[in-house]
Amino acid sequence: MRRKLLMAVLSSAICTMMFSSTVFAATNELTGLPVDDSIAAQRPVAIMVDNEKKALKHYGTGEADVVYEMMNSTANGRVTRLMCLYKDWQNLNQTGSIRSVRTTNIMVADEYNAVLIHDGGPFYINSYLAQPYAAHLSGGFSRIKNGKPTEFTEYCFGSELVNRFAKAGLPTTYTQGLERGTHFVFADGEVDLGAGAVANIVNLAPVFPHNNSMLIFNGETRTYDYSEYGSVHQDAEDGQVLSFKNVILQNVPFTQLDKNGYLTYHVVGSGSGYYVTNGKFVPITWKKGSETGFTHYYDASGAEIKLNRGKTYIGIVPSDTWGTLGIG
C-alpha cells in the first residue's frame, strides 16, 4: 500500500513538472521572458495610443512588452504618440485610447510582423499599408463614455481583437519568417554596463516639449519609470506604473511632409543612439536594412548589444534635437 502511494505521489510530481515545463517552455520574443506555449507562434499587435494630455489616463499600456514613443507631428509642441506592442493580446482588458497611425509606425511595426491597431491616418500612410506584408485593423473599436470629446473615447479589448482578426481573415500567427528566435539579443544573466556613465534620469523634455517625457531610474525595482506632463505615468485601471528594464534611444533624421506637420522618420537606415539599463548608459549605433528587417543595435566594438530580459522603451529622437537630450 505504501509503495502504491509512493508511486502515485511520484507520478503526480513528475506530471506536474512536465506540465509546468510545457506551459512555460516558450520565450516571448519581445521580452525574452517565458510565455505560455499556446501563444508561442502568435504574432504581436501594435496599438496606436493617443499621448495628448486630454487622453490620459491610459488603459493597458503597462501590459505592453515594447513601447515606442515618437513625435507625431512637428506642430503642437512636437506632441508624441505611443505605439505599444503586445505578445499576449487576446487577454487584454480595455486598452487605449486609440488614435491614427503614421508612416513611421508602419515601417517599425512591419519588422515585428505585427498587426497595427489604429483609427485611420493621413493619406501618406496608404502606400505603406498597401504593401503585402503590412497588416492592420482600422477604426470601429469600442466607444467608452468618459466625458471627453469623441476622439478620446475609442478603446479595444482582447476579445474584440480576436473577433476582428477572424472577420478580416488575418492570421494570428506569424506570416513571415523572422531573422531569429527573439527580436532583440537577450543576455543570459543581468546586464551590467559597468563602464557606462550614470543614467538616473533620461530627460526627453527638450526633445518632446509638449509631453515633457522623462524616464527615472527606480533603485528598488531596477527599472525606469516613465513620466510625462510632470507626473509618473499610472494606468487608469489598476494604477500600475509604466516602467521598463531597457531604454533605447535612436537618433533619427526625418522629413516634414507638409505644412500640417506630418512627417516621416528615416528609420530604414542607420545612426547613433544610447542603450540605458540598471542606472547606466552607453553609446550605440543602430541599423535597419528594410521595412521588414529588424533594427539591430551595436556597441562601440561593433558587436550586437545584449539586452536585459524585460520590457523595453524605444524613443525615436529627431536628429535636429538629439543634442538637447539629457542623461545623468
Q: Tell me, yes or no, whether 88 and 160 share the same domain.
A: yes
Q: How many domains does the chain have?
A: 2
Task: Answer yes or no: are the C-beta atoms of 79 and 51 closer than 8 Å.
Answer: yes
Q: Looking at the structure, tell me whether residues 141 and 58 fall in a common domain.
A: yes
Which residues share a beta bridge with 143?
A: 154
Q: Are 317 and 233 part of one and the same domain?
A: yes
Boundary-marking domain end, from 147, 168, 189: 168
- C-alpha to C-alpha distance for 176 and 33, rounded to whole angstroms: 22
Are both 304 and 213 inside the same structural domain? Answer: yes
In a domain, 86, yes or no: yes
- Do residue 130 and residue 225 come from a single domain? no
Q: Which domain holds residue 319?
A: 197-327
Q: What is the pLDDT of residue 5?
A: 36
Task: Of 311, 310, 308, 284, give the one whose Cα is nearest residue 298.
Answer: 284
In a domain, 316, yes or no: yes
C-alpha span between 33 and 246 (Å, rounded):
13
For residues 318 and 217, membership in a common domain is answered with: yes
Last residue of a domain, one of 168, 189, 219: 168
* CATH code of the domain covering residue 161: 3.50.90.10
Q: Are residues 157 and 203 in the same domain?
A: no
pLDDT the model gives residue 195: 87
pTM of the model: 0.92
For residues 155 and 142, the answer to whether their CB atoms sit within 8 Å is yes
What is the separation, in whole angstroms, between the first and last Cα of the chain? 68
C-alpha cell belonging to residue 306: 545584449
Q: Please state whether the peptide bond connecting residue 57 to the residue before it is cis, i.e. omega within 30 degrees of 0.
A: yes
Q: Which pLDDT belongs to residue 38?
A: 96
**Three-class SS of 38-85:** HHCCECCEEEEEECCHHHCCCECHHHCCEEEEEECCCCCCCCEEEEEE
In a domain, 213, yes or no: yes
Which segments of the chain have a pLDDT < 50?
1-23
- Residue 251 inside a domain? The answer is yes
- pLDDT the model gives residue 24: 52
What is the pLDDT at residue 4?
Answer: 39
Same domain, 230 and 301: yes
Before 21, cis peptide (omega within 30)? no
- For 259-278, the pLDDT digits (tens) are 999 999 999 999 999 999 99
Query: 317, 286, 312: which is closest to 204 by C-alpha?
Result: 317
